[in-house]
Structure 1
Amino acid sequence: MLSGNTLLMKEVNKDLVREQLKTLRKATKQDLSQKTGLSVVTVNSILTDMVKHGEVQEGEMIPSNGGRPSLLYHYNVNYSYGIVIYGHQKENQNCIHLAVVNLAGESVYKEEAFMEDIQLESFEELIDRGKEKVSHISIIGFGLPGEEEDGVVTLNDYRNLTGDVFMKHYREKYKVPVIFINDINGAVNGYYHYKAPGGMLNVAGIYFPRLYPPGAGLVLNGEVYTGNKSFAGEIAGLPIGVDWIKLDYDNRTEIREAIGRLVAALACVIAPEQIVLYGDFFQEDDVAGIKEVAEKLLFRKFDIYLVLSQNFEEDFEQGMIRFLLEHSVDKYILSRKGIETVML
């Protein structure tokens, strides 16, 4: 019987091979040995197991520098599917999106629905329709305006989802791992990895849904930072003298003053290289006005780099898919065997 440490090392090695083959899409075991630093014998053992379970497919034989032909292995991106459910404000309503994605992060089915009153079971019909489109799912990711810790939703704009029932309900109903990502954390994750200028390590995103107070997502040293009890980014409570629910978002002067204060406060604490603003009320010339207010409050000691984005939905989806793939079903094998507990 394999020990816990041996099993853990085997899964770590498998993950190395998996990530390289997912990137290359097809490769020989010699290629994978060079890329991962693992021996050809170890790679061969891992590939044999992955072929057996359908995650990898054997391809054609190819010539190899005067030696024996080598077998080409193809990664089966449709070996497993994940479901992403993410919600945000659209046309002043709760818009809930569904995306079914394969292991390459490619969407094979999408759908959206407007929901007035969101309850515990509200997402089940969407998930069930998504499941019908593929052979099976291995993970579900929720991207919602709130926070979760150890399976307990501690904060949520959809109040019926708070508590320890939500995550447990969907895990037990669909018998797969379930992860929960804060909405702006999902969006800033997508923006940072796919749109931020190269070389940046610290980026902040602020989302203004209007019907609810704003929230911030933080990327620090290249990683999304959630803080103690996942509370980082809950900026609505900052004592800067702004009532975000009563704020007139059509009043240019009012929003520039309010958001300028918020940006200044964020700059003082985080000092990000870039701040992305999301909201359907922004106009292009708001950037200069907000920047002026913020930098004046900071006595011109910090140069603020602001960007307006109208692509919250796109960044959110891409960020959620990236989170989902990072926590793919195979990372739960050890936890199911009692070797490791995975915290998301």
Structure 2
Amino acid sequence: MGINMLDVKQANAQAVLWELWAHRAASVRYLAQRTGLSFATVGSILAEFVETGEVILGDLVSGTGGRPSQAYVFNAEFAHVLALSAQVRSDTHMIRACVGNLYGETIAEREYPFAQISLESFGEAVAAALNAHPTIKVLACAIPGVVRDGVVVVNDYPALDGTAFPEYFREKYGVHTVVSNDVNAALMGYAAETEPGPVIVGIYFPKHFDPGSAVMVNGKVLEGDAGWAGEVKLLPWDVDWLAVDYQDPLAIGPAIARLIGVFCAVVNPGKIVLYGDFLSEDVQRAVEDNIPSKALRAIFPPIVYGRELDQDIIRGLFAQGIAAYKHQLTIKQ
């Protein structure tokens, strides 16, 4: 099979664009060194991106022993990602909508209260965001439940069961859509901001529903064969997560310690991230004091408390949305 020169040209263009994205601003010479392309090729590619608006001319940068060179700046506002997160706050069902640029920086946000969450609830938020920000190219949604190939298998909002998010929003609004479990998104958001290590686990305790969890191995979230990985309610034991007193450290502490013990036995995480509004110092001590066995204590990982679930979810959704935009752009080129 012969080489398709158009494909090569497009691949080179994407290599230059996303190398510039990684550095925010750079000269032709620097990008040529990083990509292995010729100075002339990189210069021509950047000129085309300046015309489309994806790249902006920056300041002149002084070189070593030569005349100043032109800096090029990645235009993070050329396209945007809309992140939508369904959640319960103070007994009120909410959809949080955040618009972010291609660096995952929030430029606008809004919250929508609903009596119940449905597909139309998401649609209302999407329509408003697209009207205000027509440069939105990707929609990233997080829901508390099981998602498989973009279809909601089961979740905490029955009206969403069986919904194919990507297909619905592509047909109705013409926007590329990705959907994921909320705790998976939160763990991605945590990992995007830190150096998480090879194996980490995130667990969220919403109190109104059963806990949800996520496992990340070498930077990739494990969803399981059918998308059910992390569904704590499937564990065959006697903890009733809807009845337990979350304000009583002696009740909730041992339950959390046992749950962490399960993950220690199965994936041996190097870190556990806990999300919940009840994780006081007394609860934290109760967790540490009730590790089920000496063997588990030897491998019990450090626990991260105090993370903001909402922020980590949005950060994770932005990361997914940017990755989807990059992939979509590569396919279209």
TM-score by length of 2: 0.90
Q: Percent identity?
A: 33
Residue 88 of structure 1, CA deviation: 2.1
Residue 39 of structure 1, CA deviation: 2.6
What is the count of residue pairs matched by the alignment? 332
Alignment of 1:69-108 (within 5 A): 69-108=68-107
Measured in 2, the distance between the counterparts of 1:294 and 1:11 equals 55
Secondary structure in structure 1 of the residue aligned to 2:118: coil
- Decide which of 302, 307, 310 is 1:305's aligned counterpart: 302
Secondary structure in structure 2 of the residue aligned to 1:228: coil
Measured in 1, the distance between the counterparts of 2:28 and 2:330 equals 25
Long gaps (5+) in structure 2: none
- Show the counterpart of 2:234: 237
Secondary structure in structure 1 of the residue aligned to 2:260: helix
Letter paired with 2:328: Y
Measured in 1, the distance between the counterparts of 2:188 and 2:207 equals 22
Residue 334 of structure 1, CA deviation: 5.2
Measured in 2, the distance between the counterparts of 1:293 and 1:5 equals 63
- Show the counterpart of 2:327: 331
Contact 1:295 1:302 in 2 (8 A): no
Measured in 2, the distance between the counterparts of 1:304 and 1:28 equals 44
Contact 1:264 1:298 in 2 (8 A): no
- Show the counterpart of 2:115: 116
Residue 87 of structure 1, CA deviation: 1.9
- Show the counterpart of 1:341: none
- Show the counterpart of 1:157: 156
Residue 62 of structure 1, CA deviation: 4.1
TM-score by length of 1: 0.87
Measured in 2, the distance between the counterparts of 1:225 and 1:73 equals 38
Letter paired with 1:185: N
Contact 1:284 1:308 in 2 (8 A): no
Letter paired with 1:262: L
**2:291 is equivalent to residue 294 of structure 1:** yes
- Show the counterpart of 1:138: 137
Secondary structure in structure 1 of the residue aligned to 2:126: helix
Alignment of 1:26-45 (within 5 A): 26-45=25-44
Measured in 2, the distance between the counterparts of 1:209 and 1:98 equals 20
Alignment of 1:114-263 (within 5 A): 114-195=113-194, 198=195, 200-263=197-260
Letter paired with 2:301: I
- Show the counterpart of 1:55: 54
Query: Which is further off, 32-41 or 106-115?
Result: 32-41
Long gaps (5+) in structure 1: 338-344
Contact 1:80 1:137 in 2 (8 A): yes
Contact 1:105 1:322 in 2 (8 A): yes
Contact 2:80 2:99 in 1 (8 A): yes
Letter paired with 2:88: Q
Measured in 2, the distance between the counterparts of 1:244 and 1:148 equals 22
**CA deviation profile, 1:28-57 (whole Å, cap 9, x unmatched):** 111111122333233233323322321012
Query: Which is further off, 153-162 or 41-50?
Result: 41-50
RMSD (CA atoms): 2.4
Contact 1:16 1:36 in 2 (8 A): yes
Letter paired with 1:216: S
